[in-house]
Amino acid sequence: MDEERAHCYRDLREALLTKFDISPERSRQQFRSMVVPSEESPIETYHRLKGLYRRWIRPEQHTKEEIAEAIILEQMFRRLPPERTTCMLNHFYTPTSTPAQACKERESTRVLRIS
């Protein structure tokens, strides 16, 4: 990052988040795969998990319904074949439909090819 852009908080923040791979998705991965060191107390483990959860879900920014949707989608993605997951991820941020609706619409508009 050049010095001129380093004075802009938004640009600096984005550069740091990108460089250190700090994102809700990364926090979710760490939350789901956390290993507890033998010397860590249960209270320390709890606080680490809580911090990862808060960085993943960001409960202060989302409703209960949005949090539930995130957890349900995560479980669904774990169980779907990769091509379906890709379809849903490509349509995840469309404001007009849920990922499941977008994937269903895409499948219904596919042209059947008979060989």
Cβ within 8 Å of residue 62, ≥6 positions away: 70
Going by C-alpha positions, the residue among 99, 97, 16, 28 that lies closest to residue 58 is 28
Could you identify the residue written with the tokens 């949707």?
A: 69
* pLDDT level of residue 37 (50, 70, 90 thresholds): very high
Tell me the domain boundaries of the chain.
Answer: 3-61
Q: What is the pLDDT of residue 55?
A: 87
* pLDDT level of residue 11 (50, 70, 90 thresholds): confident
Structure tokens at 22: 């700090």
Instruction: Give the amino acid at 97.
Output: S
Q: What is the pLDDT of residue 115?
A: 37
pTM for the whole structure: 0.56
Condensed to tens digits (0 to 9), the pLDDT of residues 81-106 reads: 877 777 766 665 454 556 666 566 65
pLDDT greater at residue 2 or residue 90: 90
From residue 25, alpha-carbon distances to 1, 11, 85, 98 in Å are 24, 20, 15, 19
